[in-house]
Amino acid sequence: MDLEDRLQYIKGVGEEIITERELRTLLETNDHPTAYDGFEPSGLAHLPFGVLRPILVDDLLKAGVRMKLWIADWFGWVNNKMGGDLEMIQQVGKYFVEVWKAAGVDMSKVEVLWTSEAAADEEYWKKVIAVAQNSTLARTQRAITIMGRTSRDLIQTAQLLYPMMQVADIFWLDVDICQLGLDQRRANILAREVAEKMKWKKPVAVHHHMLIGLQGNKDPEGYDESGEIDRQISSKMSKSKPETSIFVHDSSDRILSKINSAYCPPKVLEGNVLIEYCRYIIFRKAKSLGIERAAKYGGNTEFSSYDELARAFRDGSLHPADLKKGVAESLDRIISPIREHFERDPAAKKLYQVVKNAETTR
């Protein structure tokens, strides 16, 4: 694969790349740069984690990128996920790895690493201290948004460690690319600043789109990033708000019910939940989207690209009710292999039950 093709794959992942020039130089000089994707283990897997991120990882692998999957169990502990129970957080981490396997990620090409393992090495903490020495308190407090919180939510001293640790991770893992959501950009920007001060390798930041929740766009709440990024953070599908989310374990009927309640005004593309799912998931996983409808409404039709579908919806020839049915069926086909894996594989089923029960009782 030539450089331009590799670049296009990565640009398809990153809604924001800091910087594209640096990325091009990296690809010119390194056939297999290293990237990481990290996550706090908490709750059941939803569309952004269980479907969208595997799509993005697959494209990075196609571009020749070596992937590191960072299971941030200590971060979940600091952030009081799963009631602050570290052992339970680690069970969720194992469950999340199983989700990616079920989603089709070639785990033989992904290196799985845990924060708890790094935390046993004093060299890791030396990097955390070095980052803290090169960051102001105000700068650290502004970066608290990477936890899904704002400075107004900061109630424990341990939470100030979170941004310092996340920046240190980048240098500990020795990655060339940080592949995270737009909500994590403050940590990556801080890492680039620290790299300049410490003369460490400066990472390229590839920030992916934040998939919108079923409720549609929400007004920004306390993040004070740029307008579009603010909107995405406030509107993203969140496991902590299950009413906004579709989970990989949802039944066909449950998916249809949720999709029928999703924000989808006629002829409107901006902020339209169904249009977004078509763009970022369906047309990246399937070659087409079929729509079944009565003959009096134009009969069955099929769209072979996102642009074709967007035009039909904008001009009113595709009705929201028909789109919802087609999207629900398509998402169900995409999710079903993951759902079925956890139904038939005994080890996966046990992990799912542990996480499900913890979610129910906590």
| DSSP category for residue 260 | H
161-176 confidence digits (pLDDT tens): 888 989 999 999 999 9
Buried b (16+ CB within 10 A) or exposed e, 208-231: bbbbbbbebbeebeebebeeebbb
Among candidate residues 227, 260, 280, the one where a domain is terminated: 227
Mean pLDDT of the 189-201 span: 94
Closest CA to 93 of 109, 117, 57: 117
Domain of 53 in residue numbering reads as: 3-215+223-227
Among candidate residues 195, 227, 259, the one where a domain is terminated: 227
Residues 209, 265, single domain; the answer is no
Number of domains in the chain: 2
Query: What does the pLDDT read at residue 183?
Result: 86
Among candidate residues 196, 227, 258, the one where a domain is terminated: 227
- The encoded tokens of residue 288 equal 């087409």
- The encoded tokens of residue 107 equal 């785990």
| DSSP category for residue 173 | T
Residue with tokens 């542990």: 354
Domain of 340, CATH number, reads 1.10.240.10
Domain of 139, CATH number, reads 3.40.50.620
125-147 confidence digits (pLDDT tens): 999 999 999 988 887 777 766 65
Residues 271, 354, single domain; the answer is yes
304-334 confidence digits (pLDDT tens): 999 999 999 999 999 999 999 999 999 999 9
Q: Does the residue 243 lie in any domain?
A: no
Residues 321, 204, single domain; the answer is no
Query: What does the pLDDT read at residue 91?
Result: 95
pTM of the model: 0.89
Q: Cα separation of 281 and 284, whole Å? A: 5
Q: Does the residue 115 lie in any domain?
A: yes
Q: Cα separation of 352 and 359, whole Å? A: 11
Question: 155: pLDDT confidence band, cut at 50, 70 and 90?
Answer: low
Q: Does the residue 235 lie in any domain?
A: no
Residues 187, 278, single domain; the answer is no
Q: Does the residue 78 lie in any domain?
A: yes
Q: Cα separation of 219 and 122, whole Å? A: 42
Residues 137, 271, single domain; the answer is no
Q: Does the residue 39 lie in any domain?
A: yes
Residues 211, 260, single domain; the answer is no
Residues 200, 259, single domain; the answer is no
219-278 confidence digits (pLDDT tens): 665 545 556 677 777 788 888 788 889 999 999 999 999 999 999 999 999 989 999 999
Q: Is 196 within 8 Å of 221 (Cβ atoms)?
A: no
